[in-house]
Amino acid sequence: MAKGFPSKKKSRTLLLHSTFSQKKSTQQGYWVWGKHSVEAILKEKKREVLDLYLTQKVAGMWTAGSLPKHEIVEIKELTNILGEEAVHQGVAAKIKPYNEACWEDFIEVSGTQCWVALDQVTDPHNVGAILRSAAVFGIRGMLLPKNNAPQETGIMAKAASGSIDLVPRCYVTNLKRTIEDFKKAGFWVVGLAEEGSTMLTDFEWPEKTLFIMGSEGRGLRTLIKEACDYILSISSTGNFSALNVSNASAVCFYAWKASRN
């Protein structure tokens, strides 16, 4: 393994596990829908729920006493609000965006950590799916650039399938500079690209890892690729090697998790 990086010492009280440093958000509320998505938001209790609409059938299936203030509506009313394409399963909630986390509060915590940074991944479906995989495999947090990354929406929450509040998301002004800050805190930066010289399955994982996943088609930008300590690739049959970014992320997260066990 290449040379290590010095630890960056700061005087601060570190926030542990699921306690996030928060920033004020000026965004208005938005709708999320589907049983898993809404149930998870109500269970986590990290959001202000502005409105909660359910059909009588769904309300009857909910655990007694577990529902906050809500309104009973007809299926067609939810469809009118959300649109024909929303698979709402008879439940929708209007929520305030959750205040983003501050990555500095996490990276100097001792022990094994793995983060993921998305380099211009703009599709909210993909970001939501990556959040879902990140929650399953214990990824500590997600970095997204403030430009060329989607803000959270109902589409992202639906794709995350209940994990939208489980993995802290940190929006950064300059991804390259933030990567360097992670290095100073002892992280090794690992990018994924088809031309990577080391196979994912052959990699010796460091204690602290920052994955970098690039956008579909374009992949990692050159300046981000140059900031990586390693570029890995996923082995394939050779007949068809293309995975979308959310599937590739899940494979990487599984490989990292398996190495910890």
| Residue range 80-89: mean pLDDT, rounded | 84
Do 112 and 200 fall within a single domain? Answer: yes
| Residue range 241-260: mean pLDDT, rounded | 89
Residue 253: pLDDT band (50, 70, 90) is very high
Mean pLDDT, rounded, of the chain: 82
Q: Which of 96-105, 166-175, 188-197 holds the top average pLDDT?
A: 166-175
Do 70 and 183 fall within a single domain? Answer: no
- What integer pLDDT is reported at residue 258 of this predicted model? 92
- For the chain, counts of helices (H) and of strands (E): 8, 11
**CB–CB of 143/118 below 8 Å?**
yes
Task: Give dist(CA 258, CA 245) in Å, integer.
Answer: 20
Do 255 and 224 fall within a single domain? Answer: yes
Range in 36-50, 52-66, 213-227 with the lowest mean pLDDT: 52-66
Of 73, 95, 117, the one marking the end of a domain is 95
**CB–CB of 51/96 below 8 Å?**
no
Tell me the C-alpha to C-alpha distance, in Å, between residue 38 and each of 47, 67, 151: 11, 11, 18
Do 41 and 113 fall within a single domain? Answer: no
DSSP-based three-state secondary structure for 142: strand
Do 59 and 81 fall within a single domain? Answer: yes
Do 73 and 117 fall within a single domain? Answer: no
Do 42 and 168 fall within a single domain? Answer: no
In a domain, 25, yes or no: no
Choice between 64 and 46, residue whose per-residue pLDDT is larger: 46
Q: Structural domain tally of the chain?
A: 2
Domain that holds residue 44: 30-95
Do 162 and 224 fall within a single domain? Answer: yes
Residue 238: pLDDT band (50, 70, 90) is low
Count CA within 13 A, CB hemisphere, residue 229. Answer: 23
Do 135 and 220 fall within a single domain? Answer: yes
Choice between 171 and 241, residue whose per-residue pLDDT is larger: 171
**CB–CB of 35/61 below 8 Å?**
no
User: 238 phi and psi, to 5 degrees?
Assistant: 95, -25
- What integer pLDDT is reported at residue 255 of this predicted model? 94
Do 129 and 245 fall within a single domain? Answer: yes
Do 255 and 169 fall within a single domain? Answer: yes
Beta bridge partners of 94: 31, 51
Q: What percent of the chain has pLDDT over 70?
A: 85
In a domain, 177, yes or no: yes
- What integer pLDDT is reported at residue 65 of this predicted model? 58
